[in-house]
Amino acid sequence: MKKNSQVQLLKNEIKRLKKLVYLDPLTKIYNRRGFSEIGSRYFQFNIKGKQKRRKNEISKLTIIFLDIDDFKKVNDKHGHNKGDKVLRAFTRFLKKNLRKTDIIARWGGEEFVVLLVNISEDKSKQIVQKLCRKISKNKMSGLYLTVSAGLTFPCKNENLSQVINRADKLMYQAKKQGKNMVIISK
């Protein structure tokens, strides 16, 4: 085998392994590991950008934590195959209704996390509220869904994990307060 062929085979194998490590096999979006790695880079660039103020800096980050309400009932009533179809439809919906620059991940089960980049706090709030309204009005694989969401913004010197944890807690507040809503905090 020629050296160039071997190199190409290795490159293809690395690409395949990266997909296995960083992408959710069901939805084909980032998994927790992939999101954490990419998101951490954005946070590092954001901190550096505030120090240096570059033309193409990354700034104004927002984290949205979404959980599909009562998803267990979907699996219990319609089966796990239907649940999988719903998760894929939900993912397509998120991709269609968010910007290409936003990072979307399946955090686990029916939980999703989104990183909005270079967007104001007011615009972030509008986006998540509109997104939740649209979710409740659109069938996903034949079913109407609602989501509970937490939206938050990084504080000075906070890392990605800390912001995600805060957004997750806000999402749980939304669940406790009746579901199908967004809790927003700084």
79: left (phi over 0), alpha (psi -120 to 50) or beta: left
Q: Which CATH class is domain 23-184?
A: alpha beta
Each residue's pLDDT, cut to its tens digit, for the chain (186 residues) gives 677 788 888 777 777 777 778 999 999 999 999 999 999 988 887 655 454 445 455 678 999 999 999 999 999 999 999 999 999 999 999 999 999 999 999 999 999 999 999 999 999 999 999 999 999 999 999 999 999 999 999 988 889 999 999 999 999 999 999 999 999 996
Report d(CA 185, CA 136) in Å as an integer.
22
Cα–Cα distance between 88 and 69 in angstroms, integer? 16
Token digits for 123?
A: 């615009």
pLDDT of residue 48: 54
Start-to-end C-alpha separation, the chain: 58
Cα dist from 141 to 3, 87, 94, whole Å: 48, 9, 14
Give the whole-angstrom CA distance, residue 55 versus residue 49.
9
Token representation of residue 79: 């089966």
At 140 the pLDDT is 93
Q: Which residues are catalytic?
A: 110
| Concatenated DSSP letters of 15-74 | HHHHHHHHB-TTT-SB-HHHHHHHHHHHHHHHHHHHHH--TT-----EEEEEEETTHHHH
pTM: 0.87
- Which three-class secondary structure state does DSSP give residue 108? strand
- pLDDT (0 to 100) of residue 4: 78
Domain boundaries, the chain: 23-184
Secondary structure of residue 104 in the 3-state scheme: strand
Cα angle 160, 165, 167; round to 5: 95
Pairing of strands 111-116, 139-140: unpaired
